[in-house]
Structure 1
Amino acid sequence: MPIKTIITKGKVPVKIYTDDIEAEAYQQLLNMSQMPFIHSHIAVMPDVHCGKGATVGSVMPTVGAIIPAAVGVDIGCGMKALRLSIKAHDLPDNLRSLRLLIEAAIPVGFNQHKHDPVKQSTVTGLSVGLHKILGKHPKINTMQKKPYQTWVRQLGTLGGGNHFIELCLDENDDVWVMLHSGSRGIGNVIGEYFINLAKKDMGQHIVNLPDKDLAYFKEGAKHYDDYLEAVSWAQDYAMVNRREMMNLICDALKKKLPKFGITKEAIHCHHNYVAREQHFDASVWVARKGAISAKAGELGIIPGSMGAKSYIVRGLGNPMSFCSSSHGAGRVMSRGKAKRHFTIDDMESQTHGVECRKDSGVIDEIPGAYKDIDIVMEHQSDLVEMVHTLKQVLDEAANAEKSAAA
């Protein structure tokens, strides 16, 4: 489906792949379109909703400057999915024991492993880049308790908020493992630090911004290269986190399931990140906040909410979206409102047939708090084609009540 809404009141157009957009998000996009260094236009995905400074679901190409809030604080947040060599009939009738095994293997929320979970060579490789960043910005190291131990032992952990681990079945009854997580506590503090540093660096000029959270670093300025170095490191950390978590999940599943292998069909993608790309005859920084890359032929993951369908997709390389698509269904209700509006009975009915927690700690992730994933997919038929349709049978969600999306 083509672009449905265009905002033309700013310095560049905002091209939106839906007409279902809340007033707050619309105003944020109008604010973003006032920035003087955006190349061509801003593209907005059909799962669009309000964020901090920059709207979730936005794709912003910039020349000569970069906005940390256009990436956000969960730097490198994204998805990983593996298709296993087993079928639905190989799963036990009752999946509770599998869910408990996954819970035991993967810490959630602010929790971490009790011992270093990854190879020392992995830690050493990440340490080199982080120490270089901390040498120039030591304050980052004061923003967490036991910072070194925390970032090392949070590798292979889920986090909080809307992060999850799922077992799914596709249209052929093949079993998939899918997970959603990011750069954990260390990515969060790096994101917060540089958002605030951009505000500080802009000084009195920040009053000229439509929103102070759109503070930016100009190319050649003191901290421009530092931010790019730090965001790149956090994106790498997030990739390693998902890789290590997937390894731990598969090890846990092997205790209960028949012997299985991993097929060649494996997908790993960021949806909160920045990358150097070529669009409309210019080399630009593309900040995707709640959007995935959808280059022609590129595989991606678009999850629905708990109990809803998810999709493995292939990008169509649409230039107007900067070769992007949505990262999920998108919220229609805040976490607080969802907790006030829905009950545990609602949770049980909306996640019928899925082995998952159905208590007050996860009500804010109820399917009713999200957009209909099928409508979202319909609105981006010009951006991606569906390869597999996945249906959750087991969901391990983070506890949003006792943890934040670190």
Structure 2
Amino acid sequence: MEKTIKTEKKPIKLWLPDLDPDTLQQAKNLANLPGIHSHVAIMPDAHVGYGMPIGGVAATDGIVIPNAVGVDIGCGMCSVRTSLTEVDRNTLKNILAAIRLQIPLGFKHHKKAQSPAHMPKPPDGMTVRDLPIVSREYESGRYQVGTLGGGNHFIEIQQDEHGYIWLMIHSGSRNIGYKVANHYNKVAEERNKRLGMLIPSQWQLAYLPVDSPEGGLYLAEMQYCVDFALANRALMMARVIDAVQQCCAPVSFGEMINVAHNYAALEYHFGKEVMVHRKGATRAGRDQIGIIPGSQGTTSYIVRGKGNEESFSSCSHGAGRTLGRKQAQRQLDLQKEIALLEKQKIIHAIRGKRDLEEASGAYKNIEEVISRQTDLITPVTTLRPLAVIKG
């Protein structure tokens, strides 16, 4: 930890030297919210979000905040180590082509509904019909499970420091998570207005009591979306593995590592069971294996958590943006970004100005981000990108 801000109702603990004014204001709003437990933790990849900073961790007593989870509920990473130690450039291109045949990218969905077996089960004691937004979106979800989505989502083929080839996917809960998030944020906003503006609306942090019918439903639907995001990644990984098997000699695969970085969960911290909200943050319990990806064309890390209570056993979820998407498209030099990737011999996804939103120049330096959280995690494996498919 680098700094603690003590000017608000609750302390704000920072794992970076400073915050830009907008992100700092969001952190202060969160620290002044009723129900915040102990303090607010801000990870080294933090930047401005909607309501709560991305890269923020907040524990609450008795309330849940939809905007402190975000619109891509359950968004996260998965990674698998293969037995391969060598893949030439032509084979990499063939693998990418095979992946594109099986996994729709961006706004595209499957043309046929996927088997219900790929859809998650509702929380214990509930049916899909008990979940109003999920039940409405369930059939659409069957066309979306196993699809990448857009923005900063990606599929990457990597190589570790021992030569092993790895497969990594970053994706979320697609439209079903978006609909659940928006619905319950509106429910929370309406409740805030009805009760006389418990918090300023411009904070965008309206909350629901955990023991209220609305709060209980949000938590159940949120958990379904977390499970859907995992099912989405697992199905894509199965198809990436299939693509590798089509293009390579016999190959074996390790167990899939999976981490989510947008969710809320009950955990015990500082003497109490509380609702820990992680928005662009990953759980890093003691000896827990996690994933911290770099930006396109930079190193990613498999890490082991240290269970540091000061961060509510959390760490960063990536490198973190320094430029907004439109800002990156305006400011970055397309040819310079392409030259950087091609110098590293990476098969990349930057073709035009629009793709600059996910160029490495739009992100913080991942090595610096890792170095700022040595009290939270220990790097275990370093992964160098070989080829990437961008959502």
Q: Give the structure-1-normalised TM-score.
A: 0.91
> Is 1:219 the equivalent of 2:219?
no
1:355 aligned onto 2:347: yes
Instruction: Kindly provide the CA deviation profile for residues 188-219 of structure 1, in whole angstroms up to 9, marking residues without a partner as x.
Output: 11111111110012224463424341000023
In the TM superposition, residue 38 of structure 1 has moved relative to its aligned partner by: 0.9
Q: Check the 8 A contact 1:90/1:258 in 2, yes or no.
A: no
> Which shifted more, 47-56 or 147-156?
147-156
Map of 2:175 onto structure 1: 185
Partner of 1:247: 238
Q: Which residue of 1 aligns with 2:109?
A: 112
Which of these residues, 155, 158, 164, is aligned with residue 154 of structure 2? 164
Alignment partners' CA distance in 2, 1:243 and 1:172: 25
What residue identity is the alignment partner of 1:304?
Answer: G
Q: CA deviation at 1:116?
A: 2.5
Shift of 1:148: 4.0
CA distances 1:56-79 after superposition (whole Å, capped 9, x unpaired): 011100001111100001000000
Matches for 1:354-373 after TM superposition, within 5 Å: 354-360=346-352, 361-373=354-366
Question: Displacement of 1:94 after TM fit?
Answer: 5.7
Q: Residues 223-234 of structure 1: matches in 2 within 5 Å? A: 223-234=214-225
2:305 corresponds to which residue? 315
Output the CA distance in 1 between the equivalents of 2:191 and 2:371: 43
Shift of 1:131: 2.3
Amino acid at match of 2:274: V
Q: Write the letter of the residue equivalent to 1:372.
A: N
User: Which whole-Å CA distance do the structure 2 matches of 1:261 and 1:364 have between them?
Assistant: 35
Q: How many residue pairs end up in the alignment?
A: 385
Q: Give 1:386's aligned residue.
A: 379
Confirm or deny: 8 A CA contact 1:302 1:327 kept in the other structure: yes
2:21 to 20, 23, 26: 23
Secondary structure of the structure 2 residue equivalent to 1:263: coil
Letter in 1 for 2:236: M
SS at the partner of 1:371?
A: coil
Alignment partners' CA distance in 2, 1:123 and 1:324:
28
Letter in 1 for 2:267: E
Q: Percentage identity across aligned positions?
A: 36
- 80, 102, 107: which one pairs with 2:99? 102
For the Cα contact (< 8 Å) 1:91–1:257, is it kept in 2? no
Instruction: Please say if residues 297 and 348 of structure 2, whose CA atoms lie closer than 8 Å, have aligned partners that are also in contact.
Output: no
Structure 2 counterpart SS, 1:223 = helix
Classify the secondary structure of the residue corresponding to 1:58.
Answer: strand
1:40-55 aligned within 5 A: 40-55=38-53
Deviations 1:150-189 (A, max 9, x none): 2111101101110000000000010000000010011111
Q: 1:175, 1:278 → 2: CA distance?
A: 37
**1:335 equivalent among 322, 325, 330:** 325
**Superposition CA RMSD, Å:** 1.8
Structure 1 range deviating more: 242-251 or 91-100: 91-100
Aligned to 1:58: 56
Distance 2:211 2:254 in 1: 45
Contact 2:264 2:276 in 1 (8 A): yes
Identify the range of structure 1 (221-230 vs 89-98) with the bigger mean alpha-carbon deviation: 89-98
- Report the counterpart of residue 292 of structure 1 in structure 2: 282
Contact 2:157–2:385 (Cα < 8 Å) also in 1: yes
Cα 1:206–1:183 change in 2 (3 A) is farther
Conservation of the 8 A alpha-carbon contact between 1:75 and 1:182: yes
Residue 188 of structure 2 is aligned to residue 198 of structure 1: yes
Q: Secondary structure at the match of 1:188?
A: helix
Is 1:126–1:237's contact at 8 Å kept on the other side of the alignment?
A: no
Alignment match, 2:78: 80
